[in-house]
Amino acid sequence: MSRWFALTVAILVAEPLYADWPQFRGPTGMGVSAAKNVPLRWSHQENLAWKVPLPGPGFSSPIVVGDRIFLTAYSGYNVGQPVSAQQNLRLHVICLRARDGAMLWDRAISPKLPEQVRMRENHGYASPTPAADQQNVYAYFGRSGVVAVSHDGKLLWRQEVGTPREESFGCGASVMLAGDLVIVNASSESETLFAFDKRTGKQVWKQTGIRESYNTPVLIKSGDRQELVLAIQGKVLALEPTTGAVRWSCRTDIGWYMVPSVVAENGIIGCVGGRSGIAALAVRTGGTGDVTSTHRLWTGKAGSNVTSPILIDRHMYWMNDNIGVAYCADITTGKLIYQERVPNAQQVYASPIVAEGRIYYLARDGRTFVIAAKPVFELLATNDLRDRSEFNASPAVIDGRLLIRSHQHLYCIGKP
């Protein structure tokens, strides 16, 4: 055995390897993990590897690159106490060590004021999930813009994306990476989808007309090309990722603003949204122009206004955000395989993830409902982390562990 090989083996043994979860809903943006040994059951006393306090609340989800966890938060203003002066507002990009939750750094980002005075549902000023590569983390704070921060906490660049009209929720779409581009859906601020060079922050392209769209775009392979897909009011759009040109659109017949992200498998895109009327559909990828009559497969009335779905093995799964009902539909026909009320499930804002053949639905009160990822309803476990806080962020998966974020804490679920 060579000295180089022995040294490499020693390093690998000493430092655990973490599968990256670099953006909202993981590497593909679909919420699907190949991790093994992910816990089925946990509580404050069982399978809790560590728990750390956070400097402030946020709807943003944790992401992971290597042994670093990144997330955002806000503090100093509108945080469960009487409204104080806006100059006290602080925005945070945070880096934690994955193996034990130790705080490595907390980068303060100065906000662009004035901010919204109040937001519904305690939505706050740190809702979009950041994205990261091997060098930097990219965070989006609505009217305060987009920032790139190095892995050691240095602010590299900053870009504004517009000033929103007074809205009740603020922004919600998360950052995604497409090659060398940072993609930001700034529908709230300017009804515009932006692409920035991730090294310099220079705008590469923008696409306007992104109305009532609060979902995170996803990259989908369609034949020998990629499509950047997102939902806006009334349509699903597919764009050319390097230029932002619209390749095709499909009418949804959903009359609401669009919050859930789309999912895709084997050339079929699944989409849910809205609170009434048509609330779900499927469309085949590819095509040019308006493909409603040629590529739309079905529409349905069971949907969700907030949570994104899971699409796996030709079945789409989701939970309604407000009534605690879980659904499964055949993605090719739209036929509902099941619709089941989940015991004790109420509001669910976090988008689910799937691992080990299980779907993890995290409710706002801190309970996670684990349901078998198969077209027969089976509730496998109900796990309780209630801590007098709200849980609005989607879970992340690292090295067989789950990261679950409340307004107050970040929990690492797994063997201590």
Q: Against a cut of 0.85, is the pTM above it?
A: yes
pLDDT at site 399: 87
Strands 379-384 and 367-372: antiparallel
Helix (H/G/I), strand (E/B), else coil: 380: strand
How many whole angstroms separate alpha carbon 310 and alpha carbon 369? 15
Mean pLDDT, the chain, whole residue set: 92
User: Which pLDDT value is given to residue 164?
Assistant: 73
pLDDT band at 81 (very low <50, low <70, confident <90, very high): low
pLDDT single digits (tens) 344-367: 998 999 999 999 999 999 999 999
CA distances from residue 39 to 65, 326, 416 in whole angstroms, order as listed: 21, 21, 12
195-200 average pLDDT score: 98
pLDDT score of 11: 30
- Strand 289-290 versus strand 246-251 pairing type: parallel
Phi, psi (deg, nearest 5) at residue 13: -70, -40
DSSP 282-347: EEES--SEE-HHHHEEEEES---SS---EEETTEEEEE-TTT-EEEEEETTT--EEEEEEPTT---
The per-residue DSSP string of 7-29 comes to HHHHHHHHS-----B-STTSTTS
Domains annotated on the chain, with CATH = 18-413 (2.130.10.10)
Please check the confidence at residue 5 and state whether its pLDDT lies above 60: no
Q: Which two tokens stand for residue 264?
A: 């895709």
Find the length of the chain.
Answer: 416
Strand-by-strand arrangement of the 103-109 sheet: 63-65, 68-75, 90-97, 103-109
Q: Is the pLDDT of residue 261 over 50?
A: yes
**215 in helix, strand or coil?**
coil
Q: At 6, is the pLDDT very low, low, confident or very high (cuts 50, 70, 90)?
A: very low
What are the tens digits of pLDDT across the range 285-305?
999 999 999 999 999 999 999
- Cα separation, 93 vs 86, in Å, equals 19
Q: How far is CA 346 from CA 150, 310, 321, 326, 367, in A?
A: 39, 19, 8, 11, 10
Residue 79: pLDDT above 90? no
Amino acid of residue 104: L
Whether the predicted pLDDT of 78 surpasses 90: no
Residue 1 pLDDT > 50, yes or no? no
> In this model, does residue 46 exceed pLDDT 70?
yes
Higher pLDDT, 122 or 92: 92
Give the model's pLDDT for residue 219.
97
